[in-house]
Structure 1
Amino acid sequence: MCGITGIIHLDGQGSVDRILLREMTALLRHRGPDDEGFYEAPGVGLGHRRLSIIDLNTGRQPMGNEDGSIQVVFNGEIYNFLNLRKQLQSKGHLFRTRSDTEVLVHGYEEWGENLAQHLNGMFAFAIWDARHRRLLMARDRVGKKPLYYTTNGNRLLFASELKALLCDPTVKREIDLTAIDDYLAFLYVPSPKTIFKNIYKLPPAHCLVLENGHVQTRPYWELRFAPNSQDERHLANQLDERLAEATRKRLISDVPLGAFLSGGIDSSAVVAHMAPWMNGEPLITASIGFAEERYNELAFARQVAGMYETQHHEFVARPRAMEVIEKIVWHLDEPFGDSSALPTYYVSQLARQVVTVALSGDGGDENYAGYIRRYWHNMMEDRLRSLVPLPLRRGLLGPLGRIYPKYDFLPPPLRLKFLLTNLSCSHEEAYFRDMSMFLPETKQALYSQELKRRLGNYSPAHHFAPHFEKVKHCDLLSRILYIDIKTYMAEDILVKVDRMSMAHSLEVRSPFLDFELMEFVATIPATLKLNGKVSKYILKKSLEHRLPADILYRKKQGFSIPLSDWLRGELRGYVEDTLFSRTAKERGYFDYQEVEKIWQRHLRGITDYSAHIWALLMLELWHRVFVD
């Protein structure tokens, strides 16, 4: 894995700021501690930090073609690079290295702006074409590798991480208040926006072309759901073979390689598929657990590790988040409220002590319908909606939801307010509510009058609209899975894994996110993903000869931490000193009487507001790291 940077003058004239380029690149050293390289020419400068994985001796970047007219900086891995290399050699291209980077050089010569469509891997790259004065940038299909950019005056700057762009003192740190509203809904800022105005994320599966002073972005891939009619056994066998192949492709490495192992079905599946390909080498696994037993899955991880005789490593996390939390905020670049970033940081730290590359089970939930409670309730709600026309539901259930007592204060059997409100909505509106941490009505109480005035009628729900439009003719579950893949997976899960692993210079590969495998899984009927109340049904069937039933069919636990207990215990003072400081209150975002209510309700055990409090805490810490 690597870090890339660049400065491009839109008019193609003048020399780039060499000091700035080096500062930007140096700030990404954690992404690539092994080497550093630069390319400079009139109007262009490229920088690269390298984490050596393949072709340790000759894979240096920036890398050019024979006459130097094409220059590439690249972050990621191309898993089909050997096949592409053969194709390109058959067309007369000469290769000087064994690295996957050189495939991009000659691939661009052959396919131009269509290069990304030929790649199977995780990547973010930038290619400078000196002859045409053209910059081509692209991100992989699902968003494993990040890429930020900004146009500032007569220049375009890009980098693997937002913080590198902030090295330029002329790049304004002007906070986009709508991004704060987005963050408090989703716990992340969705692409292409960032927390700062005029700084953007290139969305997954998109290319950017800069030519003749103009910047254009376009998508190059789409995931399409078109269920086939093959029988269950055949589909399960096909899935087993395709997941095995996706795993095999991710074992190419010239450095030590292992796997994350939580004991859940996804990471266990990856370990089970890795084992046959290890050729006598020990399979190294890393797990994280907690002292609080109800959050601890180490026993299941040990069971799978024992089955496959892995070289197993464990770490027990304790509530000392204040020791690393500001480091985590720095690595995340933007406000990010998913508290599972903390265990991901720790398990990456543990894995990096013994390997440089780790395979993970990311993508299993979103592709195979793993979030059983949410998906099942979505299906049930939609069946109820189909019985009553929307105008009648809005007129009857909407008012009932508004007057029904707030569910936070009531025992579970009486928590009907949320359900009534959801049933009064369209499916799209209900999905937005399901995915929102702070609901619109909660924000109205939380926000200061000034923030509400400045936001006006803005709603984060609009981020989902174009995605729903693309799958409007699909069945309900397929629509939900598609939106999850495009939003929650790309903007939360994969951001968390990239930043927390790169904090320790660890490369993480995800077999479930092989795009060819994903395209196949998208053809599996929804009823074979969520079968009654059995989630990931077809995946479990495909694994029955590899994993025991108590691993495959146990209740999903999720990668969560004992945050509620920690906030009431060891972290209480840290939260109060930070969240209720004078500095925090003077930012003017919130009505602090409402923040105090949320905090006190949590402390008294009335409501578990741990995720809300963590989100507010991370927002305040982000300001301290990047703004103050």
Structure 2
Amino acid sequence: MCGIAGTLDLNHQRATTEGMLVHMANQLIHRGPDDAGYCLKNEVGLAFRRLSIIDLKHGNQPFFSDDGRIVSICNGEIYNYRELRHELQQKGYRFKTECDVEVLIPLYQEYGLEFMKKLNGQFGFAIFDDAQKQLLLVRDHVGICPLFYTVAAGSLVFGSEIKAVIAHPAVKRAVNLRGLDQVLSFPGSVSPTTMFENISALRPGHYLLVKTNGALQEKEYWDLNFGTTTPDHGDDGQYLDEFDEILRRAVKDRLNADVPVGYYLSGGLDSSLIGSVAQAVAPDPLRHSFSIAFDDAEHDERSFQRAYTQHIPSTHHEIQFDWKQVAERLRSAVYYSEAPLKESYNTCSLALSELVRDSGVKVVLTGEGADELFAGYVGYRFDAMRAGQVDGVRELDEMLEDEERNTLWGNKSFFYEKNYLALKAVKLDLYSPAVGARFGQFNAVRSDLLQRAKMKGRHPIHQRSYVDFKLRLSDHLLADHGDRVSYANSIEARYPFLDIRMVEFAARLPPRLKLNGLVEKYIVKEVARRYLPASIFQREKFHFVAPGSPALLAQNIDWVNELLSPEVIAKQGYFNPETVERLRKVYARPGFKLNLPFDSDLLMTVLTFGIFLQTFGMPDH
């Protein structure tokens, strides 16, 4: 993977310069420190920063068609490129390198805009067709790779990170209040919304087609769809074997690299299973595993990590994280996330990816996605326990809450993390009067977050899975905790559970094999029996929660106190200084503890929003 950026001049004035492209690309050097490439062609300017992983000598980009009229740059990996390459060779196409993303242009030439449906990978790419006078931007099915864009002063500007977009001189910086409200309301922001006004995130499974005459068309090419019925042939063994085979293929595909590939090891089920499958499908060479340890029993998982390393051989690397590092790394975490944070765990993730880099490894496998696809959170159990309960007499506030849920999900009975009516009161108390007066314009609960029709008539497990997939996975776990913290240290993370074959298998898997009784991730645990010791696959799910703002307040750090001071909060103008000061006094009480993850750490969001404003030079309200 790498970093890409570029512009399309919609005014036909050839406003882009090579110097501008270099400046935009330099904001992404952490994503691609190994090489760079540029193309300035008529209306389009493309910039590329490379992290060399496949075909180290010949894989630099851009790539061009034989006649030079089509050019592409790609951040990502195409895992089925060998099959696609063979198919294209049979049709007469020739290849100059062994690079996986060289297949994109011939696929586009052969199949037109339908070609992205043939891809299995994680990608964000751009293709400019000079003959058709159009630029195509595409983001992968799940949203592993980010891609952002805006139109400013007659130019479309895009990049793998917003840093590259705002480096363009025509792009203005302003806070998107809807983005802030999403962070306070949901796990994080939700594409296409970002924290930057007028800068959009291309949604997962979508492409953006931009004509040089200024016409923009965003279109969905894929979405998770569970269907209203799930056929169940009743043969559990067959389902387990199919899951096992898909996972083995997904892991094997993600081990393909011309650099060392390791894996994260938390000590939990998902990462342990990935590491064990990697050992099974490709036992040579001995792989590197990476864990983070903590000096307090509440967070430490070393006993499980070490039990695993005794079972599966690896060159194991371990780093101990001191919670004082939260304050030291928090500004970096916000810089790379390009958004305020709800929790401090990103600082741990930054330390872990730094360990990978310093160990000489460039690629790591990780276990994200299993919880969202196979009912791994406590909410799935709560749904099952509520099933069949009959509502009694409804109070007025309960009926109003029903309306909020119906607006969001098209289902008044679907509970997702919070009572949004109560949350509205909290947010209005937290926002400054000037911001609160505009609340109706940016209220995240009153926005379209997903396709409610794809929840209607679905099994409760599938309803929750769809919402987790849309709200928790791509823009939160894969962005805040995945892509950004790995690339901060020039590391590529790969996600076997998010192979498109696995995702579509999960969409047709009977719910009873996800939540069996009250056993979460039942099929994952059953397959894990084939690879892991019982101490790991029978382990209760560990809900890791990093210390939040109360721990920072207890350290009495000058810059933290300053950012939360009434004077600074009042000057910024987004939050109510009296409310923030009241929260600060409560959170600073000796022994005070938030019940995370059920309570929201409001002060952490306020603090990291202040860092966000400073880091990106955002204006006061």
Shorter-chain TM-score bucket reads: over 0.9
Match of 1:624 in 2: 614
> Which range moves more in the overlay, 609-618 or 173-182?
609-618
CA distance in 1, matches of 2:538, 2:52: 39
Q: Say if 1:339 and 1:611, in contact at 8 Å, map to a contact too.
A: no
Q: Say if 2:252 and 2:278, in contact at 8 Å, map to a contact too.
A: yes
Aligned AA (1:566) = A
Match of 1:493 in 2: 477
> Which range moves more in the overlay, 149-158 or 586-595?
586-595
Query: Per-residue displacement from partner, 1:494-531 (whole Å, max 9, x unpaired)?
Result: 00210000000000000000011110112112122112
Match of 2:368 in 1: 362
Question: Structure 1 residue 182: deviation in Å?
Answer: 1.7
Aligned AA (1:542) = V
> Structure 2 matches for 1:417-456, cutoff 5 A?
427-428=411-412, 431-434=415-418, 439-456=423-440
Match of 2:525 in 1: 540
Q: Say if 1:338 and 1:492, in contact at 8 Å, map to a contact too.
A: no
> Structure 2 matches for 1:345-494, cutoff 5 A?
345-354=350-359, 355-372=361-378, 374-381=379-386, 383-384=388-389, 387-388=390-391, 392-395=393-396, 397=398, 427-428=411-412, 431-434=415-418, 439-456=423-440, 458-463=442-447, 466-494=450-478
Question: Structure 1 residue 394: deviation in Å?
Answer: 4.6
Question: Structure 1 residue 586: deviation in Å?
Answer: 1.4
Residue number among 565, 587, 600 corresponding to 1:602 in the alignment: 587
Query: Per-residue displacement from partner, 1:456-505 (whole Å, max 9, x unpaired)?
Result: 36431244664332221111110110111112101100002100000000
> Structure 2 matches for 1:519-538, cutoff 5 A?
519-538=504-523
Match of 1:159 in 2: 159
Taking a change above 3 Å as real, the CA distance of residues 17 and 434 of structure 1, as seen in their structure-2 partners, is same
1:32 maps onto 2:32 in alignment: yes
- Provide the aligned length of Structure 1 versus Structure 2: 604
Question: Structure 1 residue 329: deviation in Å?
Answer: 1.4
1:220 maps onto 2:221 in alignment: yes
Q: Say if 1:204 and 1:490, in contact at 8 Å, map to a contact too.
A: yes
Match of 1:405 in 2: none
> Which range moves more in the overlay, 29-38 or 521-530?
521-530
CA distance in 2, matches of 1:437, 1:248: 47
Q: Secondary structure at the match of 1:61?
A: coil
Taking a change above 3 Å as real, the CA distance of residues 331 and 56 of structure 1, as seen in their structure-2 partners, is same
CA distance in 2, matches of 1:601, 1:234: 55
CA distance in 2, matches of 1:571, 1:308: 43
Question: Structure 1 residue 620: deviation in Å?
Answer: 0.8
Q: Say if 2:563 and 2:569, in contact at 8 Å, map to a contact too.
A: yes
CA distance in 1, matches of 2:321, 2:367: 20
CA distance in 2, matches of 1:256, 1:568: 41
Q: Say if 1:187 and 1:335, in contact at 8 Å, map to a contact too.
A: no
> Structure 2 matches for 1:53-452, cutoff 5 A?
53-211=53-211, 212-226=213-227, 227-230=230-233, 231-318=235-322, 319-354=324-359, 355-372=361-378, 374-381=379-386, 383-384=388-389, 387-388=390-391, 392-395=393-396, 397=398, 427-428=411-412, 431-434=415-418, 439-452=423-436
Question: Structure 1 residue 432: deviation in Å?
Answer: 4.8
> Which range moves more in the overlay, 11-20 or 542-551?
11-20
Q: Say if 1:150 and 1:198, in contact at 8 Å, map to a contact too.
A: yes
Query: Per-residue displacement from partner, 1:524-577 (whole Å, max 9, x unpaired)?
Result: 121221122211011101111211222112221134323366335336555323
Q: Say if 2:209 and 2:217, in contact at 8 Å, map to a contact too.
A: yes
> Which range moves more in the overlay, 440-449 or 113-122?
440-449
CA distance in 2, matches of 1:369, 1:586: 44
CA distance in 2, matches of 1:457, 1:383: 38
Q: Secondary structure at the match of 2:53?
A: coil
TM-score of the pair, normalised by structure 2: 0.92
Aligned AA (1:330) = Y
Aligned AA (1:446) = L
1:579 maps onto 2:564 in alignment: yes
Q: Say if 1:40 and 1:46, in contact at 8 Å, map to a contact too.
A: yes
CA distance in 2, matches of 1:343, 1:437: 33
Aligned AA (2:426) = T
> Which range moves more in the overlay, 565-574 or 542-551?
565-574
Query: Per-residue displacement from partner, 1:249-297 (whole Å, max 9, x unpaired)?
Result: 1110000110000001110110011002334311110001111111011
CA distance in 2, matches of 1:573, 1:379: 47
Q: Which runs of 5+ in 1 are unaligned?
A: 402-418
Taking a change above 3 Å as real, the CA distance of residues 396 and 144 of structure 1, as seen in their structure-2 partners, is closer
Taking a change above 3 Å as real, the CA distance of residues 331 and 500 of structure 1, as seen in their structure-2 partners, is same
Q: Say if 1:12 and 1:133, in contact at 8 Å, map to a contact too.
A: no
Q: Say if 1:468 and 1:479, in contact at 8 Å, map to a contact too.
A: no
Aligned AA (2:611) = L
Aligned AA (1:625) = T
Question: Structure 1 residue 434: deviation in Å?
Answer: 2.8
Aligned AA (1:444) = L
Match of 2:16 in 1: 16
Match of 2:487 in 1: 502
> Which range moves more in the overlay, 238-247 or 224-233?
224-233
Q: Which runs of 4+ in 1 moved over 6 A?
A: 435-438
Taking a change above 3 Å as real, the CA distance of residues 436 and 360 of structure 1, as seen in their structure-2 partners, is farther
Question: Structure 1 residue 69: deviation in Å?
Answer: 0.8
Q: Say if 1:5 and 1:160, in contact at 8 Å, map to a contact too.
A: yes
Aligned AA (1:513) = L
Match of 1:413 in 2: none
Q: Secondary structure at the match of 1:196?
A: coil
Q: Which runs of 5+ in 2 are unaligned?
A: none
Q: Say if 1:240 and 1:543, in contact at 8 Å, map to a contact too.
A: no
Aligned AA (2:61) = Q
| Aligned CA-pair RMSD | 2.5
1:592 maps onto 2:577 in alignment: yes
> Which range moves more in the overlay, 79-88 or 458-467?
458-467
